[in-house]
Structure 1
Amino acid sequence: MVSYQKRWLCFVLVPAIMMFAAGMAEARGLYDKPPELERLIGELIENNEELQSLAEEHHALAAEISVAGALDDPRLGIGVANLPTDTFSFSQEPMTQKTLFIAQKFPWFGKLDLRTQRAVVAVERQKAVIDARRLDLVKAVTTTYYDLGFVAESLRVNAELFEMVQQMLQVAEASYASGQGLQQDVFQAQVELGKLIDEQIELEKRQYTLGARINELLNRPAYGEVQGPGELALPELVLDPEVVQRWALDYNPMLRVRQADIDRALVNIDLARKNYYPDMDFNVAYGQRDEDRTGRDLPDFVSASVVVNLPLWQGQKQDKQLLAEENRHKAATKAYESLQYALPHQVDAVLNEIDAIQENMRLFGGGLLEQTANWSQSALSAYEVGKVDFDTMIKAHMRALQFQLQAQRYRFQYTTKLTELETLAGIALKDIARPEVSATGASGPVAPGHAMPARPTPLHHLAEVN
């Protein structure tokens, strides 16, 4: 039989040493993602078609800024005025003219500036949409990557369990053949093997599905195998909820989207108020006349006019338009306030989950795994001398390996929650410097255990979509 105490030592001490080394090493920030994951994120940002589509829309909106602030094209026309219908002669009547005119429409004062502001707000909003979608996609890749790592760990534990049960089946068959064991022990071992084979099939299917999901997010033309993370070096973090909540309110891109909606609504309200005033259409015409019948040279004419629209139906048009824009502003404000109120609670919930997972990790690393290893070893020894039955012994061994898997589950859940926290706060933990610790262990003005940067770098500033 394999010594489960040795397995426990490898499982607990190796990660502990890695965490200690990570803490002693000169790290860039609070938490660095595995290099392979960083490479996948870079590939995502470069190749994801959805991000590229949003970026092209951003470029299109930027190009429309100058369009929004430009005047309509002037109109040029030619015509004939006062031509008699009996002869269609240009010299019969003195007022007959051949005309050339040019017209230009001028919106009421301030409308062009407001339209330009609306176009600028649309560009800023689209930029925030890109940042928010990028965060969501990075979260999807990261979560899938860590899920893939947990599935790989589950397959490893499944293989160990299968090998262990196979050995126990051989022992049970030998005991039954010698008349010292029970046939039900043989059947039980065979059933456990069947369950493990079924679990292996499901895990392999899950592994392929997760790999396909990453390939889909990266827009790869063909399926490429993706390896999950190996052993994770996880720093223990204690973050000040108020600080992280402030990050979220400052940098969360969806909050910027909602703010842009408010800004757009305010501009539209100003435009709706401007619509009560008429636009002006200036028209200048030149009329050329021929000689009359007596040969007298007739002078040409110059005409000018201004045409304005009259808001006679403002109760059905301008008033309703203004009311609609004011309602849109109220809706945008409510949406902004809703997210503004929700973000601190969401951050607090994630931080609470991170703290709980760290407690679970300390529980498993602080003796629970060692206890289950001792229990399984003790159950095996007791079974060999006939003090416990086969069922108790096999359950003890399976429980020991399942606890190892549960400990790994907490580690992967921890990294997933850190990613969720980054998405909410709109920052990258790797770019937040750890508080400096003096020789006496003090951390200066920073509260003990609180990692508080002067100003974190928003995630949307770390990788731009071109």
Structure 2
Amino acid sequence: MSCLRGATAALIFFAGAAFAQPGSTELPLNQAISLAIERDPWFLASEQAQQAQSLRENAVASRPSPSLSVTIANLPVDSFSLQQEPMTQLRVGVSQALPRGESVALNRQQQRLMANRHPVERQQRIARVALTVTRHYIAYAQARQHGVLINANIDLFEQLRESTASAYQSGVGSVRQQDVLDARLALVKLKEQRASVLQREEQALASLAALTAMPSATLTLPPTLPAVPLSVELTESPLPDAWLSARLTQHPSVVVLAVDHAVADKSVALARQQHAPQWALNGSYGYRADNHDGASRADFFSVGVSLDLPLFNEAANDSAVRAAFAESESIETRRRARIRDLMIRVRSERAVLRRLYERKTMYESEILPQSRDYAEATLDAYTAAQGDVETVLDARRAHLEAEIALLSITSDIAQTRATLAYLTTQATSEK
């Protein structure tokens, strides 16, 4: 069953994500998702609950047990003799009650539906686990790349600090003590930022280690952001309403409510069965002893049919039917509301994704090149003794902030795509 869950995860969520190259010791996203699913104890509990529900189906399908009665009828109290009176008899009877209407079949169908709910719940759990793992995966890669950007700038800031201190001590140029302090402070702040980024990286790694049940020390992840594939329709504009509605109708959370609605419909049908009379069959054999002079007496055999008439509880039965119907309608309303909420979220995430791509293009084509050129120009001017340290530091900080902003946008794109993939997950038949 664990292999099935792993395969299902890859199938319904990130089927197109790339795996690591052969020989790599890094844990790719798909394998991390599969490990998290296979080692999640919730799935074992779900399978056990489904097994219990299936056994419960057989329990409700059985008919009521027959009743056995033994009676001494018409025993005279003056002698307590079985032979004195011809009416005295030892009666053995059996009665069998029959279910009301189609209540047995409806109960069995309802229990089967309730058992079929568990596979859909597991697929919903798979999608959630996959989304959680992917978010931690992206957070780790973002922190890792953030740290690379900071480390590259720390080397430059260290060189600026040393050159500024050396120039101030030797009295070369117009370097002031304030410039030395600015260079030191900029370097310290950058190192503090690196420590903060390392903290986020370790937190994401620890979360993934807990989800995959792997030691953090042995868990190695790729430093690059994962590619999250999406359906072509989700990347088109405008998004076809018919496609989206059909897709969201098959989301596991919606299918779970559909199953609940089917179970509630069976409850309505069961409540209506209370209007049907309940039949019972009975039969008895009466043994009579011989009389005092030895004459034989005939034994008796009786058979009968009885039924209860639901006359005095008709109002209560009607209320039970109305209550079951109201519950069914409530579940169906919640199902439609869930589809509406998913549709709103999909359209919202698509709008966010579109703007993120616009911002990413702007940073890559304009902001980042310009900030890089300005930082290089200020450094060249400072090297030629035509600029000051403060301008160089400000320019380098601005360029680093632009690089971090682009990294954040790229990470947000991956997170948004992962959210859209989760929102449009489709439930499949579990074999």
Query: 1:5 matched to which residue of 2?
Result: none
Query: 1:129 matched to which residue of 2?
Result: 121
Pick one of 236, 240, 258 that aligns with 1:239. Answer: 236
> In the alignment, is the contact (CA less than 8 A) between 1:284 and 1:303 conserved in 2?
yes
Query: 2:17 matched to which residue of 1?
Result: 32
Query: CA 1:85/1:42 → structure 2, altered by over 3 Å: closer, same or farther?
Result: farther
Query: 2:210 matched to which residue of 1?
Result: 216
Q: Deviations over 1:183-210 (max 9, x none)?
A: 2222223333333333333333323322
- Which segment drifts farther, 141-150 or 207-216? 207-216
Inter-partner Cα distance in structure 2 for 1:83 and 1:175: 128
Per the alignment, in what secondary structure is the counterpart of residue 185 of structure 2?
Answer: helix
> In the alignment, is the contact (CA less than 8 A) between 1:125 and 1:260 conserved in 2?
yes
Query: CA 1:102/1:225 → structure 2, altered by over 3 Å: closer, same or farther?
Result: farther
Pick one of 156, 160, 175 that aligns with 2:152. Answer: 160
Per the alignment, in what secondary structure is the counterpart of residue 296 of structure 2?
Answer: coil
Identity %: 21
Match runs of 1:49-128 below 5 Å: 49-84=41-76, 88-128=80-120
Match runs of 1:196-207 below 5 Å: 196-207=190-201
Inter-partner Cα distance in structure 1 for 2:191 and 2:71: 90
Query: CA 1:215/1:321 → structure 2, altered by over 3 Å: closer, same or farther?
Result: farther
Q: Tell me the amino acid that sits aligned with residue 375 of structure 1.
A: Y
Matched, 1:172 2:164: yes
CA RMSD of aligned residues (A): 2.9
Inter-partner Cα distance in structure 1 for 2:381 and 2:296: 131
Per the alignment, in what secondary structure is the counterpart of residue 109 of structure 1?
Answer: coil
- Unaligned 5+ segments in structure 2 are 1-13, 21-27
| Residue 275 (structure 1) shift | 0.8
Runs of 4+ in 1 over 6 A off after TM superposition: none
> In the alignment, is the contact (CA less than 8 A) between 1:34 and 1:229 conserved in 2?
no
Per the alignment, in what secondary structure is the counterpart of residue 107 of structure 1?
Answer: coil
| Residue 328 (structure 1) shift | 0.6
Query: CA 1:185/1:296 → structure 2, altered by over 3 Å: closer, same or farther?
Result: farther
**What TM-score, normalized to structure 1?**
0.77
Per the alignment, in what secondary structure is the counterpart of residue 317 of structure 1?
Answer: helix
| Residue 144 (structure 1) shift | 1.2
Query: 2:372 matched to which residue of 1?
Result: 373
Q: Deviations over 1:119-159 (max 9, x none)?
A: 23223333322221221111111111111111111222232
| Residue 270 (structure 1) shift | 1.7
Query: 2:297 matched to which residue of 1?
Result: 298
| Residue 377 (structure 1) shift | 0.7
Query: 2:342 matched to which residue of 1?
Result: 343
Q: Deviations over 1:323-382 (max 9, x none)?
A: 211211221121122122233222222222222222223223334322222111111112
Per the alignment, in what secondary structure is the counterpart of residue 38 of structure 1?
Answer: helix
Per the alignment, in what secondary structure is the counterpart of residue 71 of structure 1?
Answer: coil
| Residue 224 (structure 1) shift | 5.6
Query: 2:418 matched to which residue of 1?
Result: 419
> In the alignment, is the contact (CA less than 8 A) between 1:51 and 1:134 conserved in 2?
no
Inter-partner Cα distance in structure 2 for 1:459 and 1:330: 23
Q: Tell me the amino acid that sits aligned with residue 114 of structure 1.
A: L
Inter-partner Cα distance in structure 2 for 1:212 and 1:99: 77
Inter-partner Cα distance in structure 1 for 2:419 and 2:307: 57
Match runs of 1:299-378 below 5 Å: 299-314=298-313, 317-378=316-377
Q: Tell me the amino acid that sits aligned with residue 194 of structure 2.
A: Q
Matched, 1:229 2:222: yes
| Residue 315 (structure 1) shift | 5.7
Query: CA 1:268/1:184 → structure 2, altered by over 3 Å: closer, same or farther?
Result: same
Report the number of matched residues.
403
- Which segment drifts farther, 72-81 or 360-369? 72-81
| Residue 232 (structure 1) shift | 4.5
**What TM-score, normalized to structure 2?**
0.83
Pick one of 164, 175, 178 that aligns with 1:181. Answer: 175
Inter-partner Cα distance in structure 2 for 1:281 and 1:217: 57
